[in-house]
Amino acid sequence: MASTLSTDNNRRSSIKPTASSPTPRRRKSGDRAAVLGFLAPNLAGFLLFTLVPIGASLALSLYEWPLIGEATFSGFENFVRLFTKDPVFWEVVGNTFYFVVGYVVLNLIVSLSLAVWLTSRIRFAGLFRFAFFLPVVAPMVANAVVWRLLFTPDDGLIAWATRTFTGLEAPNWLGSSEWAMPAVIIMSVWAGFGYNMIIFVAAIESVPDSLYEAAAIDGAGWWRRLLGVTLPLISPSMFFATVMTVISSLQVFAQPYILTGGGPGSSTTTLVFYLYKQGFQGYEMGYASSIAWSLFVLIMGITFLQFRAQKRWVHYA
């Protein structure tokens, strides 16, 4: 496969290739054609369907663009209105944070403990992988529809199980503004933990056995080895998973849309849901764009903070 020609690599040595060098001289014009040929399909699409829309979205956020009538330039008016006059916006941001914190914390606890468990010489790992993985791959809409049935008040499976096993009456999960968001979070954790679990299983399996042996010789028990060896060594993966999970949960939409329609009231209306309502039910395109950019700033800000904080707990070998 690989040839053993002693090629002279232009990049690594300053010696100019002589005529007898086996390396073919690269012809400039041929290269230009190659660059164009290889890059053009993707670059053209990237310009048209990624870069131009980004610019357009920025411009849009500076315009008043109702369904009927002309778009008029309004400067930062959309943002001013969003941050200071909109009665719902801050509540929506609060709802989104509520979801993110609840979802990320629960997701990490569940996925990490199952990963630790699954790597301790378990048989039928394939079967467990299937069970924990199916909700991840199944369409979120289908997952949410099923949970809508489970959450049915009084007669639903969850209400029945609560009554039978605890003797208490279950709350009206989706019908009360207090319990609707917890319901959305529980359903989402069920649907999403498998993804991070796979990441953690891979990370734990890549920890060298010799470290565990050394720890065992030093008399470290199971718990001590988990805290002293496993967790520090997989902390880079934990950091990555946390960052990605936060980013994706800031963009939650399908779960509240299907489970609660954003209600009761606006208790489960998240940022992307609000964007959808303003832009595609209220047809305020400019306003929706300013919501989208607020989401972007939030994502960037929180991610930046996480990178700042990683020195304190992430251990790079």
Partner 1 sequence: MSTITTRQIPPLLRTIGSWTSHILLILTALITLVPFVWMISTALKPSSEVFSTPPKLIGSSIQWGNFADAWNYLPFGRFMLNGVLVSALGTLLVVITSAMAAYAFSRLRWRGRNGVFLIYLGTLMIPQEVLIVPMFILMRNLGWVNSYQALIIPWAFTAFGTFLLRQFFLTLPDELEDAARIDGANRFTSFTQILLPLVRPALGTLAVFTFIGYWNSFLWPLLIVSDVNMATVPLGLNMFLGQTGNQWNLLMAASTISILPSVLMVLGLQRYLVKGIALSGLGGR
Binding track over 224-263 against partner 1, x by CB under 8 A: ------------xx-xxx-----x--xx-xx--xx-----
- Contact, 295 vs 246, CB < 8 A? no
Selected from 67, 85, 87, 123, the binder of partner 1 by CB under 8 A is 123
Q: Name the phi and psi angles at 316, rounded to 5.
A: -95, 120
- Opening angle at CA 75, ends 69 and 79, nearest 5: 95
309 contributes a contact to partner 1 by CB under 8 A? no
CB of 146 to partner 1, least distance (A): 5
| Binding status of residue 109 toward partner 1 by CB under 8 A | no
Q: How far apart are CB 235 and partner 1 at their closest, in Å? A: 9
Report, in Å, the least distance between residue 95 CB and partner 1: 16
Query: What pairs with residue 72 in β-bridges?
Result: 64
Q: Identify residues 173-202 at the interface with partner 1 (CB under 8 A).
A: 190, 195, 198-202
Residue partners of 317: CB distance under 8 A and separation at least 6? 233
Furthest CA-CA distance within the chain: 90
Q: How many binding residues for partner 1 (CB under 8 A)?
A: 108
Contact pattern for partner 1 over residues 26 through 55, marking x by CB under 8 A: -----xx-xx-xxx-xxx-xx-xxxxxxx-
9: contact with partner 1 by CB under 8 A: yes
Is residue 150 a contact residue for partner 1 (CB under 8 A)? yes
- Binders of partner 1 among 261-290, rule CB under 8 A? 272, 275-276, 279-280, 285, 288-289
Distance CA 236, CA 314 (A): 6
* Binding flag, residue 140, partner 1 (CB under 8 A): yes
| Angstrom distance (rounded) from CA 270 to CA 249 | 10
Any idea what the Cα angle at residue 295 is, between residues 290 and 301, rounded to 5°? 125
Q: Tell me the C-alpha distance between 241 and 36, whole Å.
A: 37
Of 240, 229, 241, nearest to 197 by C-alpha is 241
Q: Which two tokens stand for residue 40?
A: 């053009």
Nearer to partner 1, 49 or 166 (CB): 49
Query: Binder to partner 1 among 146, 207, 231, 302 (CB under 8 A)?
Result: 146
CA distances from 52 to 9, 20, 144, 257 (A): 39, 49, 34, 29
The answer to whether residue 296 forms part of the interface with partner 1 (CB under 8 A) is: yes
Q: Does 133 bind partner 1 (CB under 8 A)?
A: yes
Report if residue 63 touches partner 1, rule: CB under 8 A. Answer: no
Shortest approach of partner 1 to residue 130 CB, angstroms?
6
Residue 100 found at the interface with partner 1 (CB under 8 A): no
Query: Does 165 help bind partner 1 (rule: CB under 8 A)?
Result: no
Q: Please give the Cα distance from 271 to 291 (Å, whole number).
A: 8
